[in-house]
Structure 1
Amino acid sequence: MKAISIRKPGGPEVLEWVEVDDPQSAPGEVVVDVVASALNRADVAQRMGLYPVPPGASVYPGLEVSGRISALGEGVTGWKAGDEVCALLTGGGYAEKVAVPAGQLLTIPEGVGLVEAAALPEATATVWNNVVMTGQLKKGETFLMHGGAGGIGTMAIQIAKAMGARVVTTVSGREQTARVRELGADLTIDFRTEDFTEHGPYDVILDVIGGAYLERNVQSLATDGRLVIIGLQNGLEAQLDLKELVFRRKSVYGTTLRSRPEAQKAAICAEVQEKVWPMIESGAVQQVIDQTVPMAQAAEAHRLLDAGTHLGKILLVNGQV
């Protein structure tokens, strides 16, 4: 088969479409013939040498796919060859085939195409795990999403809105502002010209920025507020006034999905299937796709992601639909 290999750490040009060995289904795994994958910021960090591959994971990038099961490993039940699925991965999605633990498979929601389903697993699992399971967002609370125009942001806005929260998000420019409002954002803040702290307090904040925002994030939390940090796009370190945490009972969580044990990821996928899929099938939540790019042209797709002008997900397609 072919897969996208990272020749060396660097820019998009280091991504190469090369011949590699086919994956084998270990006990408890299936092999999926990949129809599409989707780009995530973690793929960029891996490409640049800033995100080490977890032990035992595929060295090829790609954290989610959609496709068809072609082989089942020992002990797998409830699935069969030919089933159309989407899947949360620890790596290996930029390829023609990938091995996946069976617990990380999801059905395709009704009304969603097989290619488009590749936009769902990582975003839905990340948002549900961090905003709901960890952040404990509740109806009537105020939720702030930093970077609302990206794949995670567009999904978080919709899920939070469907749960009855007041949704605030940071964006850049009029086009992003208009689109995220269509998705349900109650208030948009242009981070280039406005200070998000002036629009708080917030009960839950989902942050992909990291150190540069930590102090202001904590300051703008409501009493008993929860900050969940899932990205480090702008800084690894920051100062923090602990009085803000102690006397106003604020909480800060740092999490990542990729390195979690299989059992935890399986539990998250099961909850996503149960809680989020009905939102998608009812139309309350939809996948937002900026554009599709041939898998072999992953370097060009990464250039688009690096430019930061996309809205929603960029997909890589193998063309075997």
Structure 2
Amino acid sequence: MTSTPADSATVDVPAPDAAARRRGPSMADVAREAGVSGQTVSRVANGRRNVDPETRERVLQAMRTLGYRPNSAARALRSGRFHSIGVIMFTLSSFGNMRTLDAVAAAATDAGYSITLIPVPHPTRGEVSVAFDRLSEEAVDGVIIIVEAHLLDERDIELPAGLPVVIVDSNAGDRFPVVDTDQAHGARLATAHLLDLGHATVHHVAGPDRSYSAVHRREAWEEVLRERGASVPDVHVGDWSSESGHRIGHVLAGDPNVTAIFAANDQMALGVLRAMHEAGRRVPEDVSVVGFDDMEESASFWPPLTTVRQFFGEVGRRSVEALLQEVESGEARGTTLVPTELVVRRSTAAPR
């Protein structure tokens, strides 16, 4: 029988505690790595501003090195904040909404917040309320609603109390803060520009009747014509698409008295330009065309499009700013209008 030497005997070593393996680096580990106090690490983790930039960067680098992730649930319990913003959006396909959402996300990130997005494909009264209820159940500090339809100015839209709300591109009476482009001013600039060139009147390709923005642009167009003593032509209503602009453009191209057109967005203006080319009516020699939005591609239309520039980035930034002011201080702003400007290119000229 062979015996096993004592010095080669197998020794059972207890396995590491499973909880310890899962724990990961702690705030104290980060403090040691960065050479700062635990309180400083806490300030950085909670997004406080009273840490000098060099120290903040050292703490952040220590977090990255160690793979430390702040416990957002514990942080919310301590501060009463989730550092998350809910966004309810009417459509993800429109140029303006996507630009505004991009700016909201960037501004929220800069402020140390994340966003939770809930699209509302069909913005009926019930759908908006359901979307808001869903966000009320999420861990969000406030809600930005980007719904351009004429819904939120109706008193039977009931939004549950308890969460700060900011409305973009719609109306809410005096119930919630509103941030929007100055739609009316932009439409006035476009209409006045065409009249100043010497056109007898201006035809309008409007957006959908349910759109808050479209209605404001249409009303301002009509006001300018009446103020200047010009006739008010029948309105042609599109759906924001270049296809609808193309269809309406063919109707307008067939009327030799049409010499100036204001389209409520650049995509419909693009459709109008195509229809004019197909009908043999030159732009701007025979017909001047103005759009609204100033998409990046508008300068590359042929001819380059005269249009009203909207500052979507500023709308998004101010929306987040207004919401966080209400979250932090409980004080709600009123209505904030972001100015527009006319960008004159080669699609407009004096009538022959």
Instruction: Using structure 1 for the length normalisation, give the TM-score.
Output: 0.35
**In terms of Rg, which structure is larger?**
2
Give the number of the structure with larger relative contact order, counting CA–CA contacts within 8 Å between residues 6 or more apart. 1
Instruction: Using structure 2 for the length normalisation, give the TM-score.
Output: 0.33
Structure having the larger proportion of residues in helix: 2
